[in-house]
Amino acid sequence: SWIQPNEQWDSATREFVEKILEPGPKNRFLPAFLPMVEEIARLGAINSLSQVVLKLTAPGVPDVYQGNEIWDFSLVDPDNRRPVDYPARAKILAELGKATPEEFLRAWPDGRIKLFLTQKLLCFRRDHPALFARGSYVPLATTGTHSDSCVAFAREFEGEWLVAVIPRLSSRVGFPPVGERWQDTAIELPEAAAQGSAKDIFTGRALRMESRSVLVSEAMMSLPFAVYAARPSASGVRG
């Protein structure tokens, strides 16, 4: 353990890992290992980003562990107690306006997209406190080819609606799980929410919600997650 380290065992383990990861013509492990790592990294990134959206929109008090606003590859204690490089995170935060959400997705390994989602959702929570403190939670049914790979729910308070759409098991859909990859998969909206249009807080893109069924390919056209905000009116015009 880290309280009572075994230096001999630690050294042997470290040497073993260094050898199997050392590039060279005799290393038959690395060519088989790296493609798997790349695939797991892509899927892991989608899972991590989905978790950010889920915890910042679902009922309850969200917890963002210090330093995890971008990718963090620390293990458990004491590895995750290292000092956080806040100046680096502040620099990324200050420059978020220089790129589009789609550019963040294409450059997902640099971690900016995770901070982008966190910042957008925290600002939305700040500006709509009653929706998150007192709003109802409405699970939404999904239908179609990839219905098992999509999670959707709504929050509502005094006519104000939020609809969150998040992927799961996204390897079945493809990378990134956006647009036409979702085929005929659709979300069934509550009747009260299916009036007028809503705006995605990440992209600013408007989505018509005039029927109770919304295609996921439309909802997640450019990003593999979406959070739509709306205040439907009786006339069907967003207020």
The structure tokens listed for 159 are 């006519």
Percent of residues, the chain, with pLDDT higher than 70:
95
Residue 179 has pLDDT above 60, yes or no: yes
Residue 237 has pLDDT above 60, yes or no: no
CA 61/CA 56 separation, integer angstroms: 8
Average of per-residue pLDDT across 215-229: 94
In order of 89, 137, 207, the CA distances from 58 in angstroms are 25, 8, 21
pLDDT for the residue 233: 54
Residue 107 has pLDDT above 60, yes or no: yes
Q: What is the pLDDT of residues 84-94, one digit of tens each?
A: 999 999 999 99
Q: What is the pLDDT of residues 25-43, one digit of tens each?
A: 999 999 999 999 999 999 9
Nearest to 165 by CA among 85, 223, 100, 235: 223
Beta bridge partners of 161: 156, 230
pLDDT for the residue 207: 87
Lowest mean pLDDT among 59-73, 153-167, 192-206: 192-206
One-letter amino acid of 53: V
* 207, 214 Cβ separation under 8 angstroms: yes
Beta bridge partners of 174: none
pLDDT for the residue 3: 79
pLDDT for the residue 82: 86
CA 132/CA 86 separation, integer angstroms: 28
pLDDT for the residue 235: 43
Q: What is the mean pLDDT of the chain?
A: 91
Q: What is the pLDDT of residues 132-158, one digit of tens each?
A: 999 999 999 999 999 999 999 999 999
Q: How would residue 1 be classed by pLDDT, with cut points 50, 70 and 90?
A: low
φ, ψ of residue 107 in degrees (nearest 5) = -105, 35
Whether CATH 2.60.40.1180 fits 7-230 = yes
Nearest to 119 by CA among 101, 136, 131: 101
* Measured distance between the N- and C-terminal CA atoms of the chain, rounded to whole angstroms: 58
